[in-house]
Structure 1
Amino acid sequence: MKHRIVVACIIFLLLSFLPGCKVSEETIASDFNKMIEGTVDSTKIVAASTYLQENIKSVSRETGTGLLIQYEEYLNRYIKENPDKGRLSELVVFYDQKTKAFDEEKIKNSELKVYLEEIQAGGLKIVEYESNLVLRIDYEMLLEQYESYVGSAIVELYRLTAKVTDEPITEEAILKLSYEALLERALEAETILKNYPGDETVLADAMWIYTSHLNAILMGATNSPIFDYKTQAFSSEAMDAHISFMQSHPEATLTWVLKEYYTYLTSTSFTLDYSDKTASKVFFETCDWLVSEAEKRVQK
């Protein structure tokens, strides 16, 4: 993420020297940078969001992409620092487990209402994850507001990131997605990486999505292992999904990974006793190597 911000800043510096756009683009970029520097709070989120919506249409797509990336980083910084965590805790009692939404009519505290309105207006949402309410970026909202003013690479990445945000791979170390869904997402990430080779605005995040899903495809999760803890047998669900994918996408890097993976599985007779330290070590090292190789091959 930090590398993407550096790239965005370089874009602004280069564009500031272009004839005919120096004043407007340089001023917009400079003013926006000032708005989001320093401390983070929900009021600044609203101000920055309003400014971005009003001015992004006046700059090039390249500059607009840089501005949006900087805004995304600001939202991530707000989530990480969570300066208003007390308000988030107060909102818990108004969260409806059935509707997965807040009963805003019951919120009488005006400050809480303002806080909720500010973060929602700024592109954040509150979701339940592992029995806790947490802040997440609303990528669908960002796309709705800015898709027309930014590059296609960031649009494709945000569409995929929206899915990952709404439906994480795991919860309580249990797989929440089917192996088919994991493969579909990994293929989307692979497509972005291949369509925009070396594009620093999407490379790091697309690669993270790619490798994290690939790890789950090959290993499952702690409480949803790909080999059954009791029977030691390989998951039939995973096998069906893997084979179907290889048949449908013969040219994908993911298919190369799976072919190599099944060469290894054949040598184990599709069984693994996790309590066997030697066998487990070979399995995890094989998976790590495959993910590492995929990361290299997908960028060629």
Structure 2
Amino acid sequence: MHKKMMRITLALATVLALAACNNKQPDTEPNTNAQNHENASEQNVPSNEQNNPSTDQDDQAVADQAAKVSAEYNALLQNDGKLSEAISYLQEHINEVSREQATQMLLSLEDAQIQATPALEERYYAEGILQELANNDAYTRSLEDIISQLPDGKLKDLLSETQDNGYFLYSVEGVFFPVIDYETYTQYEDKINEDIAAYIKLKARDTKAPALRDAAVAVSLEELLNRALDAESFMTDYPSSPRYKEMKDLFQQYKGAIFFGSDNSQLFDYSTHIMNDEAQKTYNAYVSKTEASQSQLLADLKQYMDTAAKNDYKDSDTLKKMREKFLGIEPE
């Protein structure tokens, strides 16, 4: 009897051991009560993987509201004469949409303003408008300042509409025309995708202080190079951005000014054909920076400056071919 009990005990111990191995449980005996409590907790407390009807309903309500905002906003943009209302609507409701939706809403605004610009600009050529602007010293005064001093009338209405529709007034050689005020976009930079935030920053700099004005380089060469490098970085960092092409075009403008200069800001002196001193100093300083190797623009500029230095910075056919290559200009 004693031996029989020992055999039963041994068999039972073997079964338990095999069961423990098959279940890959630790050597210690499981706490059944604790396990049951944990299972009960999992049933009572929702997790990220479990359905929560209340949360799902809230999320759906947020999505529905965002879709409604986007639809109402787009309807305003597509309605002639509602541009200022769309801008006000964007300011009021942008916090109700996702980052992606906010980004698209801002890009849609830019598209609408670009499309509306020619018709608005044409109204500035109506009889007497340009002269009246000149009489009110619009070259140096802000739109807001001029509007506040004007009596009610055609010009005041035009300037008010220009401002309300998100433009500022720009002048070139005595001609005034509306330009999109990208600085008003910067208030949304923390609510949109980072590529479009970067795009807006550079556009705001370039519209308020254009690199080229009246056929001259209107900013310092340091600023010109910095803008070009920012545009280059954008193209490297955001090759799939919906504003890649626009930034590439801007980059090409900057490169043209860097390697060619402009009609009223010649890189090489007309008579001596020697590169001007400011360009020599600034360009050589930039290509000597440690980070220059990370920029194709600065690599090209270094090659250009090294070649120019060999001939005392005098222009040559070799330099002409180099800058045409850098700008993608087909040789004649």
Superposition TM-score, scaled by structure 1 size: 0.77
Matches within 5 A, 1:134-213: 134-144=177-187, 146-200=188-242, 202-213=243-254
Q: Secondary structure at the match of 1:127?
A: strand
Corresponding residue number in structure 1 for 2:23: none
Distance 2:72 2:123 in 1: 25
Corresponding residue number in structure 2 for 1:4: none
8 Å Cα contact 1:45/1:119 also seen in 2:
no
Change in Cα spacing, 1:106 to 1:292, as seen in structure 2 (3 Å) is same
Distance 2:285 2:67 in 1: 51
More contact order relative to length (CA 8 Å, sep ≥ 6): 1
Corresponding residue number in structure 2 for 1:291: 327
Quote how far apart the aligned CAs of 1:126 are: 0.8
Corresponding residue number in structure 1 for 2:99: 61
Letter in 1 for 2:325: W
Corresponding residue number in structure 2 for 1:9: none
8 Å Cα contact 1:123/1:142 also seen in 2:
no
8 Å Cα contact 2:170/2:176 also seen in 1:
yes
Tell me the number of residue pairs that the alignment of Structure 1 and Structure 2 aligns.
Answer: 264
Quote how far apart the aligned CAs of 1:227 are: 0.9
Q: Secondary structure at the match of 2:112?
A: helix
Corresponding residue number in structure 1 for 2:90: 52
Superposition TM-score, scaled by structure 2 size: 0.71
Letter in 2 for 1:67: M
Q: Secondary structure at the match of 1:126?
A: strand
Quote how far apart the aligned CAs of 1:162 are: 1.0
Task: Say whether 1:257 aligns with 2:300.
Answer: yes
8 Å Cα contact 2:283/2:305 also seen in 1:
no
8 Å Cα contact 1:92/1:133 also seen in 2:
no
Distance 2:73 2:147 in 1: 32
Quote how far apart the aligned CAs of 1:157 are: 1.3
Residues 116-165 of structure 1 show CA distances to partners (whole Å, capped at 9, x for unaligned) of 23332332111222322121111111212x22321121111111111111
Stretches of structure 1 that go unaligned for 5 or more consecutive residues are: 1-17, 274-278, 294-300
Percent sequence identity is 23
Matches within 5 A, 1:37-48: 37=78, 39=80, 43-48=81-86
Q: Secondary structure at the match of 1:103?
A: helix
Quote how far apart the aligned CAs of 1:229 are: 0.4
Quote how far apart the aligned CAs of 1:38 are: 5.9
When structure 1 is superposed on structure 2, of 109-118 and 231-240 the one drifting more is 109-118
Quote how far apart the aligned CAs of 1:234 are: 1.3
Residues 5-60 of structure 1 show CA distances to partners (whole Å, capped at 9, x for unaligned) of xxxxxxxxxxxxx9666533333333322222264xxx422111122222221111
Quote how far apart the aligned CAs of 1:198 are: 2.2
Residues 212-269 of structure 1 show CA distances to partners (whole Å, capped at 9, x for unaligned) of 1111111111221111001111122111111111122322222211122134425654
Q: Secondary structure at the match of 1:237?
A: helix
